[in-house]
Amino acid sequence: MDSTHTTKTSVTLEIKGSRALITFSKTGGLNVLTSDVLRSLGAIVARLKNEPTVRTTTFRAEGKVFMAGADIKEIARLDAASARDYATVGQGIMSDLAALPSITVAAIHGAVLGAGLELALACDFRIAVKTAKLGLPEVSLGLIPPWGGINRLMKLVGSSRAKRLLLNPTSVSAADAHRWGLIDETVNSVEDLSTRLPRFCEAFYRASPGAVAGIKRASRDFDDLGAFLTCFEGREAREGMAAFIEKRPARWME
């Protein structure tokens, strides 16, 4: 987590066809997820929710690290009421991110700590440079992750490994995180991230957008039957089955 910064981290959205790229950047210092940056991220997530042509959304960062965490000086100024608002807004935005109909990927380099790791946990997949470090050091501040990261981490890697990360403020290597299942793939360098990400995302384009959204919804709500029936009653199911029978590629976006 970073408590010193002179310029605010910016967050930008670029959409190219079916791909969306969200980039965090800062001139000097480390990327920090302040409440202002969080609100900007929330506006981007809200826009992507209504972009039906976007199939994949990638989160990247410029600079030394993916995200150093939250602004500790800002949090230290909160009272009980504003702390509740801060946590509630953050939880809502991370839940909205997790619920995006597109497939989401966090591309991690340097380090991802605290609030930054909560953001990465809200994504469907995480790819990291081998030298990256991951951690949730909130316990060293007398705090805990407030934006849903605890439950997402438990679901992803299991209780024992999650507690090892949550109760120990020391970060873990990308190699350990990969072995645990927290990281899906590792690459050798930041340059390799740029090469690997398009290929990683390309593998999902044969999938029906509606089916992708249905699987993501079922994994959150534990309602496989409801999600299946929604898909079955939609146009894409008719198209997908017809394409299979007729031995041709499915046309999802028509």
User: Could you list the active site residues?
Assistant: 118, 138
Q: DSSP letter string over 126-190?
A: EEEETT-EEE-GGGGGT----SSHHHHHHHHH-HHHHHHHHS--S-EEHHHHHHHTSSSEEESSH
The answer to whether the CB of 100 falls within 8 A of the CB of 49 is yes
The answer to whether the CB of 106 falls within 8 A of the CB of 127 is yes
Strands in 37-124 per DSSP E: 56-61, 103-108, 111-113
Residue type, 194: S
* Residue 250 CB-density burial (10 A; 0-12 exposed, 13-18 middle, 19+ buried): middle
Q: Which helix (H) or strand (E) holds 115?
A: helix 115-121
Dihedral, CA atoms, 28, 196, 126, 214, nearest 10 degrees? 130
Q: Which residues pair with 37 in a beta bridge?
A: none
Question: What does the alpha-carbon distance between residue 115 and residue 66 come to, in Å, rounded to a whole number?
Answer: 11
